[in-house]
Amino acid sequence: MKTSSPSLLKATLAIVRKDLAAEFRSFEMISAMLVFSLLVIIIFNFALELDIKTRQSVTAGVLWTTFAFAGTLGLNRSMSVEKDRGCMDGLLLAPVDRSAIYFGKAISNLTFMLVVEAIILPVYSMLYNVNLFRIDLVGVILLGSIGYTAVGTLLSTMSAQTRTREILLPILLFPVAIPVLLAAVKASGGLLTGAEFSEILTPLNILIVYDVIFIAVAFMVFDFVVEE
Amino acid sequence: MQSKPIALTILDIISIIVLGVAAYLSLFFAPTEAVMGQVQRVFYFHVGTAWVGLLGFILAAAAGIAYLVTKNMAWDRFEVAAVEVSTMFFFITIVLGSIWARPAWNTWWTWDPRLTTAAVTELIYIAYFMLRQGIDDPEKRARFGAVYTLLGGLSAPITFMVIRLFRTIHPVVIGSASAEAQGGFDMTSDMKVAFFFALFAFTVIFIDLMWNRIRLGQLEESVEQLKLNVAI
């Protein structure tokens, strides 16, 4: 370990700061994700006839489908920006541990997703008169988003380097992310319909297990997907 | 160019023979099941193909790890062979299962953990081939493929666990079934003969197909090499 190279934490934070600064200057990605999410919710409203009765049972599903779609949009964008202008090469040349790039990108992707979710939740509550301001629900959404972006960041790094690029990411990501999405839907649905805590505990455990496993694996294999 | 090894030709012939014997055992030798009747005979090939499909899936993930550690292209060829053969067997499993499920469960399909996991696994495989197709550099293709089989191999069991939270009606013939399972039965000794022979037969066929596919991979590579030599 050279003493001159910055620590993993410092390097990670530097990449996060770079991404957030670029995004908060233009709001390109967040605004696209947000408008897209609202459109998805509007389509669901008419596709599913979200009347009072069905609302209770499908809210969790509608929310997570929306988050997953919007998340793919953000993940694609955040990696293709790096690839397009050769920024990725610059990042790779930096004298820092490669995993700092992974963690940096993952944390900024997570931040964008959380910002969008933080706006969608109150809007959805208002539109459908469901109370989504609950600390336990926020916890589930956080756990689900962490797992989704952990795998998504790794896979978007891969898909950005292929010929089919944007089309490929959802195809690669969704089958692998099915456990996290289903567990998140199950846990949030349980919370919203007022199920016993013991019923929510299992999907919650699966969410945590998924997060831990996939962060660890992505951390281990990230070197292989950025190697030139 | 190397000619086809004699052992592989012999294995090809053995595969055809054991497939024939397995078909005879399951279609004629095994007794007709009392409740479900003739359609239960699908079961022998259903479990046989499911077993090798699963075997291929696990081998592919293991080969992916082996590739990432050793960077030896032989592991990549092994991985592609395992994924391809296993995709085909899983597909056969799903089709045979549907044929059985229609009279037994009164539906072609249900979102049971096993069925859903098999379907998701097929989708992971399809994504795997699309990923490989999008990359020109063989070394990078091998690396990305290995990473993706590893992710798929980890997520499939978790998918199975999650969907089990919902419910299951899939029978468990070996070991204990859940109370809600429908269409289970106890095997007689003749049924067991047909069953274990089908497992054996599909294992032989699996090895044979894997071997042929790996050989095909080697030939593909030498063709690439020859093309490069001509271009120079």
Nearest to B119 by CA among B149, B95, B137: B95
Give CA B111 to chain center in angstroms: 20
- pLDDT of B172: 65
Residue A34 pLDDT exceeds 90 = yes
pLDDT at residue B7 is higher than 70: yes
| pLDDT reported for residue B1 | 54
Contacts of B155 in chain A (CB under 8 A): 175-179, 214
- Residue A26 pLDDT grade (very low, low, confident, very high; cuts 50, 70, 90): confident
Among the residue ranges A66-80, A98-112, A192-206, B185-199, the one predicted with the least confidence is: B185-199
CA–CA dist B48, B98 (Å, integer) = 15
What pLDDT digit, counting tens, does each position of B24-40 carry?
Answer: 888 888 888 767 778 88
Question: Who wins on pLDDT, A146 or B184?
Answer: A146
How many residues belong to chain B? 232
A5 pLDDT above the threshold of 70: no
CB neighbours (10 Å) of residue B183?
20
More confident residue, A228 or B132: B132
Does the pLDDT at position A90 exceed 90?
Answer: no
Banded pLDDT at A2 (limits 50, 70, 90):
very low
Residues of A (130-159) whose Cβ lies below 8 Å from B = 151, 154-155, 158-159
- Nearest Cβ partner of A225 from B127, B144, B154? B144
Work out the burial of residue A114: count CB atoms within 10 Å of its CB; fewer than 13 is exposed, 13-18 middle, 19 or more buried: middle
Q: What percent of chain A has pLDDT over 90?
A: 54
What is the sign, positive or negative, of the torsion defined by CA atoms of B206, B212, B214, B217? negative
Pairwise CA distance, residues A124 & A144, whole Å:
18
Residue A105 near residue A22, CB atoms below 8 Å: no
Confidence at residue B117, expressed as pLDDT on a 0 to 100 scale: 86
Residue B33 pairs with which residues in a beta bridge? B37
Q: With 60 as the cut, is the pLDDT of residue A18 above it?
A: yes
Alpha-carbon gap: B111 to the closest alpha carbon of chain A (Å): 13
pLDDT of residue A148: 96
Q: How big is the A-B interface in CB pairs under 8 Å?
A: 89
Say what the pLDDT of residue B174 is: 56
- Which residue among A154, A162, A183 places its CB closest to the CB of B162? A183
Q: How far apart are the first and last CA of chain B?
A: 20
Contacts of B162 in chain A (CB under 8 A): 178-179, 182-183, 186, 203, 206
Q: Provide, as residue numbers in chain A, all residues whose Cβ is less than 8 Å from the Cβ of B83.
A: none
Q: pLDDT tens digits, residue range A91-150?
A: 888 888 888 999 999 999 999 999 999 999 999 988 888 888 888 899 999 999 999 999
Retrieve residue B207's tokens.
């090895």
- To which residue do tokens 């497939």 refer? B19
pLDDT tens sequence across A158-210: 999 999 888 899 999 999 999 999 999 989 988 888 888 888 888 899 999 99
